[in-house]
Structures are given as C-alpha cells and as structure tokens.
Amino acid sequence: MNIASLEDDPDQAELIRCLLAEAGHQCTTFGLGKSLLAVLRKSLPFDLMLIDWEIPDISGIEIVRWIRTHVGYEVPLMFVTSRTLEKDLVAGLQAGADDYLCKPVRPGEFVARIDALLRRRSVEASVEPAEVKLGPYTFDATTGLAYFDGRIVELAPKEFELALLFFRNPGRLFSRDVLSAAVWNREIPATSRTLDTHLSNIRQKLQLRPENGVRLASSYALGYRLEVVGELLPTPQATRNPLQ
C-alpha cells in the first residue's frame, strides 16, 4: 500500500518510513502541508495518510479538514502526534480523522493500527448492498425508500441519506463534521440547527427506540452512533456498485 506521512521531524519521518517498509508498505514523506496538498489537488495516489498536528506551514488539523472537504472520506486518516490531551483527540476525530496515535510511536501498535484502518477501507470499498435490513427496518438505496415493519416511512432526501449512513454502519461513531460532509458535502456551522433537525426527524419518523431494537445515541463532544439493542443483525440483500 502507498501511505503518505506528513511529518516535519526528520528522525520521526525516517522511523515511520522504516516501520512501514518493514510491514510491506511504500511511504511517501512530506515535511510541509503545502507539499501534500499540492499532490492531492492533482490526484489521490494514497491508500492511507498519516498526519502530524504541528507542521510549520499549515496545522495538521487544518490539513485533515481540507482533505475531508475537498477529497472526501475514501482514504483513512490517522493523526500521529505528540498532543496527548483528550480535547485534542476529540478535536482530531471531529475534524475527520479515523484514528489518533500519540507519540512516541510504539512499533507494534503503530503497525496494528495501520493494518486495522486498511482492513476497514477494504471492507468499505467492497460492493455495498442496495438493500439494507436491520430488524424491522429496510432501506432501498436504489429507490430511496425506507420501510418500518413493511410500511413506507416518508423521509426527505437528506433524512434518507443520513439514516442510511447510520444503518449501514451500526455501532460506528460519527462526529458532526463527518455527518455534515458525508450528507451535505460541506461543513455545517455549529450554530446551525440543520443537522439537529434532521437527526430529530429520523428519530421520530423511524421510531428509533429500544423497543424497536435500535436507538440513536449521542456522545457528548464526540458525535452520534446507531446502537443495536438486543440480537438484531443486519441482513443485506442485493448488491450494487458503491460509486453512487
């Protein structure tokens, strides 16, 4: 796999390059954020990107936000940084990072986290089901229709996209920024009630309550996840090309 590493410290950059090479990966190192962005503006040649937070020209968190806004969510991103405070971890994940690793890098953990992110990417890049079922809920991505107990639930287009994202990823935590970019393709200001209104609507319209086997839970400062209550299992049916 071709992995990009944004790291301005030469010793750290060489350590990361060597660890990735030993694990069978190719590493392209960038010392400045502008250098990485110049490549990304032309193409997306990387399978994963490692981002240090404190870069001389552009902060790592700004790099992550730019990537998620202009490139999307196809490629996993992981912070590799000396920042260890919980507030920084929260900010990094909310900006769109998939993982957060504090320095000093421990070789075994580092490679294991890389492998986990690449496995997730491989699974998500595979053919997704056009029809997703979870307990009494069915979503047909082809027609844009949602069903509860066999009855159509009237959802607005963005409500359907938001609900489908949760039901395709039960148990996965999504930050507000990630949800905004995935459904609206832009960052929604914290003062806007757009996302909150849509979340409230799908809660009510789909009756996302424990007695129906699911609940839409919020995690303070982190985001939202669809939690499965009981023994419900997703049962995907037909398949389609994931490029929609």
| Domain final position from 125, 145, 166 | 125
- Is 206 within 8 Å of 148 (Cβ atoms)? yes
**71 shares its domain with 176:** no
**116 shares its domain with 137:** no
- At 177, list the tokens: 């920024």
**65 shares its domain with 153:** no
- Is 145 within 8 Å of 161 (Cβ atoms)? no
What average pLDDT does this structure show over 75-80? 94
Residue 214 lies in a domain: yes
pLDDT digits (tens, 9 = 90+) for 1-16: 899 999 999 999 999 9
- Count of residues for the chain? 244
**164 shares its domain with 217:** yes
**100 shares its domain with 149:** no
**104 shares its domain with 154:** no
Residue carrying structure tokens 């660890």: 19
Minimal CA–CA distance to 226: which of 187, 174, 190, 154?
A: 174
Kindly report the CATH number assigned to the domain that includes residue 46: 3.40.50.2300
Q: How far apart are CA 133 and CA 117, in angstroms?
A: 25
Burial of 102 from C-beta contacts in 10 A (0-12 / 13-18 / 19+): middle
pLDDT digits (tens, 9 = 90+) for 177-226: 888 878 886 666 667 788 999 999 999 999 999 999 999 998 767 789 99
Q: How far apart are CA 171 and CA 22, in angstroms?
A: 33
- Is 202 within 8 Å of 164 (Cβ atoms)? no
pLDDT score for 198? 94
Residue 244 lies in a domain: no
Identify the domain containing residue 217 by its residue range.
Answer: 131-228
Number of domains in the chain: 2
pLDDT score for 127? 55
**121 shares its domain with 184:** no
| C-alpha torsion sign, points 181, 184, 187, 189 | negative
Residue 241 lies in a domain: no
